Amino acid sequence: MTTGELVLFFAVMGVATFFDTSSAICSLKGAQRFSIVTALWARIAGDDIGCAGWL
Amino acid sequence: MTFTPFRVALNHSLPVMLGYIPLGMAFGVLFQSLGYAWWLAPVSGIMIYAGSAQFLAVGLLASGAGLVEAFLATLVINVRHVFYGLTLINRYSVSGWRRWYMIFGLTDETYAVVTHNAVPTEQRQSYYFSVTILNHLAWITGCALGAGLQSLFSFNSEGFEFSMLALFLVLLIDRLRQLQHVPYALYAVAVVVVSWWVLPGQFLLLSLLGILMISMLGYRREVSA
């Protein structure tokens, strides 16, 4: 694997790490409604984080 | 006394940083076994910044895995961050690139530090950012030291991985000293034991789910009380 390919490999893994944090998903305005986990959290905990209306 | 976010963050992050450096070195040493240039180890620390995923990367690279496999494997191995993220949505309220960096730089230990320590509301974002960048720098330093030293003098890094266990014990002891909700801590221990018994190989995810449910129910109970 060349250095460039290796850096791309790292970048792909870095992007995966980033997406794992759901706050990243919820931070995107307009994408909030697609976060089922966040909506469930809002539903169960009664915490208003902008997703409660979806359920 | 004036609250200086960076100084306080440095004080709180020091145990994590001291744990990250030897663990990063262990990764650097392992990475060198692949035969790449030493400086690529800190580059991986900058770009991936996930201990377990980086150790996994060494195995994936050695086996010739593709990008899709790397992406999926990292996604699965770090899935616990979904639960961390849920509790940080309101905390990470800063806008701009710092927010994205804080999300990228979230690790188990950074999460433990930022959720454990009470800081003045107006200083929170600077504090969280400082904790994230300090821990990240320590990790990168460890990766660079390990790979660099290994390229100069070949040595055996056996036992370095114990630093992670020691680090978690330090964080746990600190947490136990200020424990407020004893029943929830006991429930969490029970959930881990049951999860271990039910699914020994996959107990972490199951126990995280169980602890999250208990936390949410407890939170709802406290809010409605």
- Write out pLDDT tens, residues B141-182: 999 999 999 888 877 767 766 766 776 677 677 677 767 777
Let me know whether B116 and B184 are in one domain: no
Reported ipTM: the value is: 0.72
Same structural domain, B161 and B210: no
Q: What is the pLDDT of residues B58-92, one digit of tens each?
A: 888 888 888 888 888 887 777 777 777 777 767 77
Identify which of B57, B70, B85 has the shortest CB distance to residue A21.
Answer: B85
Domain with B11, as residue range(s), is 5-178
**B192 and B129 within one domain:** no
The reply to whether residue B57 touches residue A13, judged by beta carbons under 8 angstroms, is yes
Task: Indicate if B137 and B186 belong to the same structural domain.
Answer: no
Cα(B163)–Cα(B147) distance, rounded to whole angstroms? 17
Q: What is the pLDDT of residues B1-53, one digit of tens each?
A: 566 888 999 998 998 898 889 889 888 988 888 889 999 999 999 999 887 78
The closest of B111, B128, B121, B88 to B175, measured between CA atoms, is B111
- Spatial distance between the Cα atoms of B46 and B73, rounded to a whole number of angstroms: 19
* Residue B59 shares a structural domain with residue B88: yes
- The model's pLDDT over A2-49, given as tens digits with 9 standing for 90+, comes to 899 999 999 999 888 887 665 455 544 444 444 555 556 555 555 544
Of B71, B82, B90, nearest to A16 by CB-CB distance is B71
Are B96 and B189 in a shared domain?
no
Amino acid at A33: R
Tell me which chain B residues have a C-beta less than 8 angstroms from the C-beta of A6. Answer: 36, 40, 61
Shared-domain flag, residues B86 and B39: yes
Considering the domain architecture, whether residues B101 and B207 belong to the same structural domain is answered as no
- d(CA A29, nearest CA chain B) in Å: 12
Comparing alpha-carbon positions, the chain B residue that sits nearest to A41 is: B216
* Count of domains for chain B: 2
